[in-house]
Amino acid sequence: MSFQSQRVGAEIASDSEEAPLSGVKVVDLTQFESGPAATQLMAWLGADVIKVEPPRGDPSRSLAGGTDNRDSILFGLLNQGKRSIVLNLKQEEERRVLFQLLESADVLCENFAPGTLGRLGLAPEFLRERFPHLVVASIRGYAPGGPWADWKSFDFVAQAVAGAISVTGEPDRPPVRIGPTVADSGAGAQLAVGILAALMRRHRTGEGGTVSISLQDAMLNLMRNAMGPMYVSGEPSERFGDAYAPSAPSGLHPCSPGGPNDYVYVLLGHRRHWDALLRAIEREDLIGDPRYVRQSLRNAKVDEVRAIVSDWTSRHDKHTAMERISAEGVPCGATLDTRELLSNPQLLESGMMGAQSIPGWGEPVVPGCPLIIDGCRMAAGSPPSLDADGPRLRRVETQGAGK
């Protein structure tokens, strides 16, 4: 298996031995998003990830855009660079193939519903006893020990029970969920950190172990900032829509020509940003104006100061507005829609977005590995077709078992 890395802005070079996780073998029983997000990170970094799938495949293969002739694009985005083998783990003979894979594996990763591993004869206690070197990593909806531990969950449910939905939306309207599936991919990213920590410990002790995370806990870990106002006031944190309440006129400002995503987000994070913003929007006449000179005064005139900024942004397209405001040192971002991401020069030239071969989809421009190590961004491999590596893996493992 070849893992290349792309030096940001320059040449493409390296082989599998240069990948940080070269030599690490992961047996991946996960499906949908949370678990595959964890193993995707490890595959990007050079681990040999073997995706063990049921006879009909990971259910995510049939999601958005999936047909009888191609897998869904979601499967393609979350399973780059992995290998695939089909095993019916309800059958003893097929479980023996899994056990042969685990003999030489470093990690087993799964995100089944509570109790499923035990029903398959793969309880963590059994795995630890039979494979003491193995790190067993799991994702659940809720952590063990609580009254909800046996309940199922998905991303949007986790957003609700971790408080994220309660702080998202407009103050005078019902709460809304966050657009990205933050709980799923967030749990996967945090689990990957736990797996690497367990592997580091094994390096010292020679013993594997278990690592687990729940969707609720992972989402709650991302809620620390949003919980801050509650600790100050003693009341539940409020919804503020797009505004950043402590720092008016921070928030979304409309741009020309007025399309559904023609906005910039401006964030004043330092006392010098107000004067810099006024220079950017050609309102130097307001620098030092006693009505706005302090943040507390601006916060008391939210609508007024937002109107000052929006009057200027509405006469410029969002890219021009972002460029001029950013040039003055004020954090500002154009609201890019998902199609605009495909042609964004920052993402393309830095290597975060690029063409990737995905069976049935050609070579679409897709996100890659977000990590840059020693100036290199690890290149993504293509996702596997169902059981693409099954015959070879069965042959290799059977030969190994016979020695």
pLDDT computed for residue 2 by the predictor: 32
- Phi, psi torsion values for 264, nearest 5 degrees: -120, 150
How far apart CA 92 and CA 125 sit, in angstroms, is 18
CATH superfamily of 5-222+347-401: Crotonobetainyl-coa:carnitine coa-transferase; domain 1 (3.40.50.10540)
341: pLDDT strictly greater than 90: yes
How far apart CA 123 and CA 132 sit, in angstroms, is 13
* Residue 186 host element (H or E): helix 182-205
Tokens describing residue 3: 């893992």
pLDDT digits (tens, 9 = 90+) for 255-282: 999 999 999 999 999 999 999 999 999 9
pLDDT computed for residue 53 by the predictor: 98
395 pLDDT band, cuts 50/70/90, is confident
| C-alpha pair distances (Å), 399 with each of 239, 396, 403 | 60, 5, 7
91: pLDDT strictly greater than 70: yes
* Residue boundaries of the structural domains of the chain: 5-222+347-401, 245-341
| C-alpha pair distances (Å), 306 with each of 64, 100, 254, 265, 333 | 39, 64, 10, 12, 16
pLDDT computed for residue 17 by the predictor: 77
pLDDT computed for residue 69 by the predictor: 92
Decide which of 12 and 370 is more confident. 370
Predicted TM-score (pTM) of this structure: 0.93
Count CB atoms within 10 A of the CB of residue 293.
Answer: 15
16 pLDDT band, cuts 50/70/90, is low
pLDDT computed for residue 5 by the predictor: 56
Give the pairing of strands 83-86 and 48-53.
Answer: parallel
Spatial contact of 85 and 29, defined as CB atoms under 8 Å apart? no
- 48, 58, 184, 387: which is the annotated catalytic residue? 184
374 pLDDT band, cuts 50/70/90, is confident
In CATH terms, the fold of domain 245-341 is: formyl-coa transferase, domain 3 (3.30.1540)
Region 187-199: mean pLDDT is: 98
Catalytic annotation on 389? no
Of 18-22, 190-194, 211-215, the range with the lowest mean pLDDT is: 18-22
Torsion, Cα of 150, 183, 158, 112 (10° steps): -20
In the chain, % of residues over pLDDT 70: 94
pLDDT digits (tens, 9 = 90+) for 283-314: 999 999 999 999 999 999 999 999 999 999 99
11: pLDDT strictly greater than 50: no
Region 168-179: mean pLDDT is: 96
Q: Is the preceding peptide bond at 175 cis, omega within 30 degrees of 0? A: no
DSSP assignments along 363-383, one per residue: S-EEE----EETTEEEPPPPP
10: pLDDT strictly greater than 60: no
DSSP class of 134: P
Average pLDDT, the chain: 93
How far apart CA 134 and CA 339 sit, in angstroms, is 42
How far apart CA 138 and CA 213 sit, in angstroms, is 7
6: pLDDT strictly greater than 60: no
396: pLDDT strictly greater than 90: no
pLDDT digits (tens, 9 = 90+) for 123-157: 989 999 999 999 999 999 999 999 999 999 999 99
- Residues 6 or more apart whose Cβ sits within 8 Å of residue 101: 27, 50, 52, 85, 393, 397
Spatial contact of 4 and 14, defined as CB atoms under 8 Å apart? yes
> What is the number of helices (H) and of strands (E) in the chain?
16, 15
pLDDT computed for residue 67 by the predictor: 95
Region 317-328: mean pLDDT is: 98
In the chain, % of residues over pLDDT 90: 90
Region 98-118: mean pLDDT is: 96
How far apart CA 250 and CA 310 sit, in angstroms, is 11
14: pLDDT strictly greater than 50: no
401 pLDDT band, cuts 50/70/90, is low
pLDDT computed for residue 402 by the predictor: 54
4: pLDDT strictly greater than 60: no
168: pLDDT strictly greater than 70: yes
pLDDT computed for residue 7 by the predictor: 55
C-alpha closest to that of 247 among 330, 367, 150: 330
Spatial contact of 64 and 33, defined as CB atoms under 8 Å apart? no
